[in-house]
Amino acid sequence: MSARFAKYAILFSLALVTSAVQTASGQLLFRRVGGVKIDAQGVIQQDFDKLDQATRQQIQDHLDAADQDISQSTAMRMISLRGLEDAINETHRSGQPLPAEVQYMAGLQRVEFVVLSPKTNDIILAGPAEGWKVNADGSVVGASTNRPVIHLEDFLVAMRSVDAANQGSGISVSIDPTDHGVQRLTQFFNELAQRREFDPSLQDDVEQVMGDQQISLTGVPQNSRFAHVLVAADYKMKRIAMGLEKSPIKALPSFLELAVKARAKAVRTSPRFWMECNYQPLAKSDDGNVWQLRGQGVKTLCEETVVSRDGTQKIKPNRIASKWADSMTSHFDDLAAADATFGELRNVMDLSVIAALMKQQQMTQAVSLEIPAILGITEVATTPAWTVPKKVPTQCSFVRLAKSWLVTASGGVTVDSWSVAENFEVDASVTEVAQVAVQRNADRWWWNASAN
């Protein structure tokens, strides 16, 4: 590589995250999160505008129209699946859009417990909840914690995709440069080896040579919000890692900052970062009627592809990349609170594990619970069709280093929900949750076990 590149690292990344919010009148307010749009062909359009104040207020008004008891903070909000099924059917019969409390599952922020209630033929989901608000990017989050709430839409997809999640590569997303793009880029730099001066216009050349990066999705419908959450989290992770976006928490500098600090040697490297499930063994009661998800939920891993001048690729460990991945894992809770994208990822992972657990343990059969709307057996609750994300134009930026690095960022997310659901142990202490869970405070499909 020429002296022209001896002081710079070249970074490739991507951008995609979309969402949609409807008001009680059915008005579609926007279809993006963080200002990033995707066109009808599935190509990402770079646009980082924040949600305008008028639209944000409309969404907040939609939230404020919900049951005011939702504003109570509680460590244990209960969701009756039988009651949720009834609420969905009732809304369908009325011909009205879903109310906010149904659309956002009464503000539940994580599913921590699953409780079987044979006496009432019900299954209850429980976890923390609080009052809600809409943030600057349009995400519905907790009023004080900023942690995103669970979307009914994602829960329905998890329940309906449970068998697909147990086949092939399971639930996954991968956003990677093409082999042809990597080869063209290698050739491009070899041809420029004699140049000595750094030229900032090289950024445009590199992006054109590299071409689009491809998005691969498995295990859930590619046109679902669930799939967009996976892609968004992958996108955010790499942008933060590669310094295209400032980390929202000081404790997590970019991978390139770590490389500069470590005085990295001159290599051609392609670090691959990906996120996957990070749970402790699930806890279950002696009678199998109470289950608890334990653990942080998400961890980050990495590997490195070294590309030689002739385009040959070789996988090997990279201590700097590993250090960054470990740092993201250890600070994930703070990251999820600072950027709702990562909290959304953990939510869909939780939902996938719950769906796999219910299927493995045949829970609906055990309590004689029928939920055809939730399972998609009937067409009462159809999920919106989203644009299928297909590709992302390469982005690059130059970061001064002591020696030359050519960095192409790739990665993904894997959700091995069935393996998590199969790993459990008996813990008698969770039994007491059952007694709290079935004590409804009102005749409705959700209630608080306790208020703080």
* pLDDT, tens digit, 9 for 90 and up, residues 255-270: 888 877 776 654 445 6
Mean pLDDT of 146-171: 94
* CB 120, CB 438: distance < 8 Å: yes
Q: What proportion of the chain, given as a percentage, has pLDDT over 70?
A: 77
Of the pLDDT bands very low, low, confident and very high (cuts 50, 70, 90), residue 409 is low
Structure pTM? 0.88
- Those residues whose C-beta lies under 8 Å from the C-beta of residue 68, and which sit 6 or more positions away, are none
More confident residue, 435 or 277: 277
Give the separation between CA 131 and CA 378, rounded to whole angstroms.
Answer: 32
The pair of structure tokens assigned to 67 is 């049951």
Residue 39 to residue 16: CA distance in whole angstroms: 11
Q: Quick count: other Cβ atoms within 10 Å of Cβ 245?
A: 18
Helix (H/G/I), strand (E/B), else coil: 33: strand
Would the pLDDT of 344 be above 50? yes
Would you kindly state where each structural domain of the chain is located, as residue ranges? 3-450
Least confident of 97-101, 110-114, 191-195, 293-297: 191-195
The residue count of the chain comes to 452
Q: What is the mean pLDDT of residues 408-414?
A: 75
What are the residues facing 74 on neighbouring strands?
A: 129
Kindly report which listed range (136-140, 186-190, 226-230, 350-354) carries the lowest average pLDDT score: 186-190
Q: Mean pLDDT of all residues in the chain?
A: 81
Q: With cut-offs at 50, 70 and 90, classify the pLDDT of residue 209.
A: confident
* 107-121, 183-197, 226-240, 348-362: segment of lowest average pLDDT: 183-197
- Specify the range with the lowest mean pLDDT, choosing from 220-224, 227-231, 409-413, 430-434: 409-413
Report the alpha-carbon distance of residue 241 to residue 234 in Å, rounded. Answer: 11
What are the C-alpha distances in Å from 342 to residues 60, 146, 257, 346, 405? 22, 12, 21, 6, 29
Kindly state the average pLDDT of the residues 337-346: 93
Rounded to an integer, the average pLDDT of 405-420 is 78
| Contact criterion met (CB below 8 Å) for 211 and 394 | yes
Whether pLDDT at 386 is above 80: yes
Sign of CA dihedral 190, 195, 199, 204: negative
Confidence of residue 30 (pLDDT cuts 50, 70, 90): low
CA neighbor of 303 nearest in space, from 311, 295, 314: 314
pLDDT at 195: 56
Q: What is the pLDDT of residue 212?
A: 86
Strand spans (E) along 318-427: 391-393, 395-400, 405-407, 410-415, 424-426
Would you state the pLDDT for residue 394?
Answer: 79
Are 82 and 369 in contact, with CB atoms under 8 Å apart? yes
Which pLDDT score is estimated for 236?
84
Bigger pLDDT: 66 vs 6: 66
Mean pLDDT, residues 156-173 = 94
- pLDDT confidence band for 366 (50 / 70 / 90): very high
Counting runs of H as helices and runs of E as strands, what totals does the chain give? 15, 23
Q: Stretch 422-447: mean pLDDT, rounded?
A: 84
> Pick the residue with more confidence: 26 or 334?
334
Q: What is the pLDDT of residue 115?
A: 95
pLDDT at 4 exceeding the cut of 80: no
Average pLDDT of the segment spanning 193-218: 73
Looking only at the bridges linking them, the beta strands covering 212-218 and 113-117 are: unpaired
* pLDDT for 38: 66
Examine the pLDDT at 346 and tell me if it is beyond 80: yes
